[in-house]
Copies of this chain bind each other. A is one copy, B any other.
Amino acid sequence: MWCYETLHPDIKLGIKGKSLYKKKTAHQNCQISKTKDFGNVLFLDGAIQTTEADEYIYHEMLVHPLLLTHPKPENVLIIGGGDGGVLREIFKHPVKEAIMVEIDRTVIDLSKKYLPKISKGSFRDNRLGLIIDDGAKYIKETPKKFDIVIIDSPDPVGPANALFSNQFYQGVSKVLKPNGVMIRQTGSVFLQSEVLKNNYRRIKKIFPQTFIQLVSIPTYIGGFFSFIIAAKKINFLKAKKSKIKKKYSKFNLKTKYYNPDIQFASLQLPNNLKELVK
């Protein structure tokens, strides 16, 4: 049996496996498949979100570049992230608090049941504040301020669409402290170049420091997968690698993919991508 992703109309990934569970929630279609090469896999609206075998690449690269480059990240906001992988990596750092705003409780329940190694008990950490709500609404209404905002959402189809708007990024800027930093995924450079280009432009208008980080993740097809990192002050290209290396050792992060050299390497862009976002 082949499980196919249906995110892109003209290209698709098939993984040998079988469906374990399907549910249509108020927000999206959730599916868990059991596969041979990638362990259990979470699909949302037909798009692969995370797999037991390669989730660490995405989650480590979403968390450590920000938490190691920011001089003292204490308050972290996560929009989405219901599988718990981002939480697992955040709680390796000495943060004071992580607020997670996940719109769909089913994603958390399914992940705890079928993908327990991803959150690895992080939902029980007493530094977590879990809110089941619309992340865009939370950003608009909260009076709280954060050092770090991590937007761990699906692609801009379905419920995540509001998390890719100008208004949303203005809200993110508003909830960030003066030295704050945000990160979001913007899909495949090759297959979703418009998503990357449009969001880069939107974010660049609001944040003085904007960077693209490139990572290769087996189950996210289409070559390099992109993240946008945006900061009010911190220049990630000019950050001190020696300081980051020191913190990386001190916190004993035990990463499988991330290291400080890879962090800096991931900010180097191919010529045609530089051209795309010029």
Q: Which residues of A contact B (CB under 8 A)?
A: 2, 4, 8-16, 35-38, 54, 57, 188, 190-191, 214, 216-218, 221-225, 255-259, 261-262, 264-266, 268-272
Contacts and interface: CB of A to CB of B under 8 A. Distances in A.
A14 B271 CA distance: 28
Nearest to A37: B10
5 contacts: A11-B15, A11-B16, A13-B221, A256-B271, A262-B269
Contact of A11 (B13, B214, B261): B13
B54 A223 contact: yes
A173 to B, nearest CB: 29
Nearest to A269: B262
B10 A13 contact: no
Contacts of A9: 16
A166 B8 CA distance: 42
Nearest to A275: B256
Given A218-B223, A257-B272, A259-B270, 5 more contacts: A10-B35, A12-B13, A218-B222, A255-B271, A262-B268
Contacts of A38: 11
Contact of A221 (B188, B218, B225): B218
B262 A57 contact: no
A248 to B, nearest CB: 11
Contacts of A54: 190, 223
Nearest to A15: B11
Contacts of A224: 216
Contact of A37 (B13, B16, B191): B191
A256 B54 CA distance: 29
A14 B16 contact: no
A188 B218 contact: yes
Contact of A190 (B15, B188, B218, B265): B218
Contacts of A12: 2, 13-14
Nearest to A218: B223
Nearest to A190: B218
A214 B215 CA distance: 11
A217 B10 CA distance: 17
B10 A36 contact: yes
Contacts of A57: 223, 270
Contacts of A190: 54, 218
Nearest to A273: B257
A274 B121 CA distance: 28
A258 B273 CA distance: 11
